[in-house]
Amino acid sequence: MKIKLTPELSYIIGLWKKRRISEGIGIRGEGDIVNVFSSEVITKGLTTPQKLLRDDKKTYFYHSAYRKFFQKVEKEQTERFKYLNEYAASYLAGMFDSDGTIDVEKGILFFNKANKRDEMLLIRLGFTGVWKQGSLIIGRPKAFLRFIKDYVKIYKDHEIFKHIK
């Protein structure tokens, strides 16, 4: 099975990357994150509603080819998403929906559980990153929000996006 990376699949991989579980392809969490993940994997044809499993605070499905592909894309993220295009915007939007936080009072955005490769990805795309207490604060927050605003699904109704043009 030949799987082709698309912006939609990039979003799902970004979402999965920050909340993945050990079973199949799935995420941990509840509420909006589970609804978005479920909707995306079903509408994009990765699985069917009958094969999507929910357990405690996990939602997942089994597909070995997609799992290998997801892992490969994540491993190669700095090379695959090195241009400011819809693939990188979708991937970062998925990551942000999954693990991002907006602190309106301080005017900062950050990833709660980032790693050095995530920092390198941001730097290569022109968004600096600063580590503070284990979180990666995203530099140039307005430019970052402008870049991902058309691709976020969970944060799309957040008040901060109403002020981004």
Give, for all 165 residues of the chain, the pLDDT tens digit. Answer: 799 999 999 999 999 999 999 999 999 999 999 999 999 999 999 999 999 999 889 999 999 999 999 999 999 999 999 999 999 999 999 999 999 999 988 889 999 999 999 999 999 999 998 999 999 999 999 999 999 999 999 988 888 877 776
Q: What is the DSSP string of 6-31?
A: -HHHHHHHHHHHHHB-SSSEEEE--T
Helix H or strand E encompassing 108: strand 108-111
Whole-number Å distance between alpha carbons of 12 and 93: 9
Residue type, 79: E
Tell me, what's the pLDDT at 40? 97
